[in-house]
Each structure stands twice: as C-alpha cells, then as structure tokens.
Amino acid sequence: MRTAFYVSDGTAITAEVFGHALLTMFPAEFAHVTIPFVENPDLALQVKNRINDCYKTTGLKPLVFHTFVDEGLRQLISDSDGVCYDFLNTLVEPVQKELGMAPVPKTHRTHSMHEKTYDFRIDAVNYALANDDGANMKNFSHADIILVGVSRSGKTPTSLYLALQYGIKAANYPFVEEDMAKLRLPAELAAHKAKLFGLTITAERLSQIRQQRRPNSRYASVHQCALELKEVEQLYLKEQIPFINSTQLSIEEISAKIISRTGLKRQKY
Amino acid sequence: MRTAFYVSDGTAITAEVFGHALLTMFPAEFAHVTIPFVENPDLALQVKNRINDCYKTTGLKPLVFHTFVDEGLRQLISDSDGVCYDFLNTLVEPVQKELGMAPVPKTHRTHSMHEKTYDFRIDAVNYALANDDGANMKNFSHADIILVGVSRSGKTPTSLYLALQYGIKAANYPFVEEDMAKLRLPAELAAHKAKLFGLTITAERLSQIRQQRRPNSRYASVHQCALELKEVEQLYLKEQIPFINSTQLSIEEISAKIISRTGLKRQKY
C-alpha cells in the first residue's frame, strides 16, 4: 500500500484536505501519515528521514503533500525520496501575476486563533451548546438560525458544525407531540419565524437512528416516525418554513445547503 | 475589491480550503462567494453569468476556484470571464502517472455521508455531548481521550472538534477545587490515566474568558485563575499527564497537537 504524507509548519489541515480530495479520485487505498508543526530544520530532517525510510521499507515512493511557508524547510522536504506535491506554490505564481502583488510569507495564516473570525466561532459553539434541544428559548433572539425538526433528525450535529466551522449561531428545537398534533408553532418559534429552517428525513432512516437510542420503543417504530414526519412536513408547508431532507446528506452537505438557501452570513472562509 | 468564487458540484469545501490557503498569502482583501451543488448545466450557466456580471460590474476579473467531477460542467465554468484555478485537475495528471492508474470520476466523494467513517463522526459527536464537563464519568471506559483542565480552558470546543472532524470520542472533565487542593485525581480519572490529556492556559487569558461568563467574580479573578492553574500544572507533572498550553492556539491547532503527541487513531482523513 502506498503511503501519503501530509506535512506542514502549521496544522497540516490544508495539505490533508487537498491531498484527500486528490487521492479519493483514484481507486486505491493509502496509508495516511499527518505530521503537523514541522517548524525547524531538525524536525524537517526527521520527516525527510521518515519519508526515505518509508520508501526503503515499502519499495514504493511515498506521496508527499506539503504546505510550507519557510523556503528552507520546504526545500528539505522536497529533497526527500517522496514524490512531492507542492500545490500552493504551484499556483502562487499565476495568482501573483493576476493580482499584480507579491505574496507575504507568514506561518499559521490559516486555522489559527489569530484569524479575525476565531472568537466568533468559539462564541457560536458556546451558543449552540447552551441552546441545543430547545433549551433557553428566550435566547432565540440572538440566534442566526433556528433548526427545527423531530427528535434525531440531525439538528444537533448540524448546529455544532455551523458554529464550529462558520461561526454561525445556530439554536435548535425538537418539535414535541403537542406542536405536531396541533400543527402549530410554539409562540417562542413563531416570534422568530424568519430564522426557522426545517430538517426532515425518511421514516425508515429515522427509525434506525432512534433504535440505537431506545431499541424496540414506540418512539423508534417506523409507524411513529412516519406519523411525526408527516405532521412536521405539513407544518413546514403551512408555515412556509424552508426545509431539506437530510436522509442522504452529511452534516457538511446539510450545512452547505442551509447556507446556500438562506444566504446566512458566515464568519469564516 | 476582487471577488473570489468557490464553485463545485459538491459542498465546495475543498475549493474553499484551497482557495483560502492560497489567497491568505496575499496582502489583500477579497469578497468571497461560495456556490455549492452546481449539479447541472442550467445551474452552471447561472454561475457563469454571475461571474461574468461580477467582471462587468467591478472591472476586475473574479478569481474562480472550482472542483468539478463532471467534465461538461467544469468546461462551462472555465469558459467564464473569471480567472479559473482548477487545482485538482492540475495535479491529477502527475499523480496518475506516479500511481500508474486512471482516476475514476465520481461526485460527492469527499464531505459526504457515504465516506466510510461518517458514522464514527456522528457517534463521536453524540459521545462528546453526553460526556461534556464531567457528565457520565462511568462512560470514560468508552473514551478515546479524556481532556482535563480547569473550567474554561478550552476542553469543550476541543472535544467537539476532535469528534466532528476526526471521529475521536473525547470526554472532558473540569477539575474542581477539591481535586486541585488535594493534588489528587478523582478515582474515575485515575482508572483511565493513560487516556488523560491536560490543557492549561495563562491566568490572564483565563481571567478574560471567565469575565465574559461571570463578570467581577472571584471565579474570574486573575488571582483565582493563577491559583487553580498552578495547582493543575503541579498535578499534571506529579501524575505525568501530558499537557499543552492553549493560550495562543486555535482549536484546530490544539487538536492537531493532541493527535500528534498521543498518536490517537483518527477515523477521517
């Protein structure tokens, strides 16, 4: 099996995202090794030796995805026996030409707390935690968005992802039987109707998820799930609440669709 | 101001991470526009027109970072008036040559729920939420890692990030006065000592963070913060618990350092 190294003088997250996107295009398995914070020549030499050892041991040249700001460190890694993909540098020149300005080398530029939006993201995480699952409905006025749906339809992980990744303050509220039976929004939600976004899901998938929580319960039965979902979907239509079906979607996909549909302002790019 | 477009037939997260890493190298501000799920020619034409309109309105060619699997859609965007950076395709050919195999086009390859590690990540988020802040200490046997530290030292957002991003089950425990005064681990932690990882922070920064929660309290005073931090750091040393100082670190950086120091197995690359 071929080994892929992701190496950087920062978190190596950019190298990972890029290398992963590239390698998943090929029908092969890889062994993955991430080495972040390679911040001095000693560490870079250790990494170079590790790459060379990997080549000696496996007989296959490792693929090395790296993002170094420091030219000397970059050169040390590029001199290894791995096949190096320096994708940032590959594209710096054309962008430089287009913008008519030179790049300014600086480490920890991305994924650092010095990004100006970092505090928004931490505040948003604290907000999402404090306003999960219908807690503190009086705080809804501070929400950027309020996700609604039946229990276990994906509201909590999506709220946390929106907060952590984009600094969006997402509250969430699980409809209870009374809301659904009466096809009525509770007053606290009705007061912030423009912020509501609904999630739905198929009854079969919801039942699977609920089974893990309370096996063989009425709560987890396909019948009960179907009933609740039918009612909330009617409520969404009646109240003109935008909604998406999350059955086949990851939290990244749900979040991207919500932002795209609502035009929510993100605190991070 | 120059506009940067991030366009994809998927979430556009890869295009964003890459474009962001590239653009932050330049001392300029950009307007950012992300357009995910451009899945058919009609949508691609709309995006092309939007790019062309932006050029007409601003007189500056937009920078377009795109990741399309579908060749026809990619071509439509490439034919726009924007300056297109097709970084995946730029590097597919050298990787193809090195691996000796052709890429297999397939949409939603990354950031989708069909990634085999997706369920681990959702389970880990549920675990982190249920085991936040010392809740359910009997569940520590299921933890991959247990973050410890004083109140507000960064344990909760780090636990959530480890879970969401990497599928790592992270519990966390805030030391209480009794633990610190006696320089002693509670029995539930002592039983899982190999899983403990400590966070610390400067007293000044901790005091700032606590001020937001309880202004002008003893809890938030620099004196009290310094006292608690001194005690937990002594405890870390006495019990040989690895720890890092989070004062200057983002949650991405803390997480990368923890994974790198502990060798924790990640469920996602």
Q: List the domains of chain B with CATH numbers.
A: 2-99 (3.40.50), 118-262 (3.40.50.300)
Specify the pLDDT at position A87: 84
A252 contacts in B (CB within 8 Å)? 11, 13, 111-112
Nearest to A195 by CA among A251, A269, A264, A118: A264
Out of A21, A34, A90, name the one closest to residue B90 (CB): A90
pLDDT in tens, B207-232: 999 998 899 999 999 999 999 999 99
B182 is in an annotated binding site: no
CB contact under 8 Å between A25 and B94, yes or no, is no
B100 contacts in A (CB within 8 Å)? none
B155 contacts in A (CB within 8 Å)? none
Specify the pLDDT at position A269: 58
The answer, yes or no, to whether residue B116 has pLDDT greater than 80, is no
Nearest CA in chain B to A249: B113
Burial (CB count within 10 angstroms: exposed 0-12, middle 13-18, buried 19+), residue A27 = exposed
CB contact under 8 Å between A63 and B95, yes or no, is yes
The answer, yes or no, to whether residue B138 has pLDDT greater than 90, is no
CB contact under 8 Å between B98 and A90, yes or no, is no
Nearest CA in chain B to A4: B269
Q: How far apart are CA A74 and CA A70, in angstroms?
A: 6
Tell me the average pLDDT of chain B.
92
A154 is in an annotated binding site: yes
CB contact under 8 Å between A11 and B99, yes or no, is no
B36: alpha, beta or left, given left = phi > 0 and alpha = psi -120 to 50?
Answer: beta
B234 CB-near residues (< 8 Å, 6+ apart): B183
Q: How far apart are CA A114 and CA B256, in angstroms?
A: 16
Residues of chain A with pLDDT under 70: 107-109, 268-269
Out of B2, B110, B259, name the one closest to residue A20 (CB): B110
Mean pLDDT of B123-143: 91
Contact (Cβ atoms closer than 8 angstroms) between residue A57 and residue B134: no
Alpha helix segments (H runs only) across B100-250? 118-130, 155-166, 177-181, 187-190, 203-213, 222-239
Specify the pLDDT at position A180: 82
Hey, of A5, A23, A91, A244, which one would you mutate to test binding to chain B, going by the most B CBs within 10 A of its CB? Answer: A91
B90 contacts in A (CB within 8 Å)? 87, 90-91
Choice among A151-160, B45-54, B132-141 with the minimum mean pLDDT = B132-141
CB contact under 8 Å between B63 and A98, yes or no, is yes
CB contact under 8 Å between A104 and B34, yes or no, is no
The answer, yes or no, to whether residue B260 has pLDDT greater than 70, is yes
What distance in Å separates residue A180's CA from the closest CA in chain B? 25
**Residue carrying the six token digits 């400067």:** B202
Out of A28, A256, A266, name the one closest to residue B99 (CB): A28
Q: Specify the higher pLDDT residue, B182 or A219.
A: A219
CB contact under 8 Å between B115 and A13, yes or no, is no
Token digits of residue B195: 């899983």
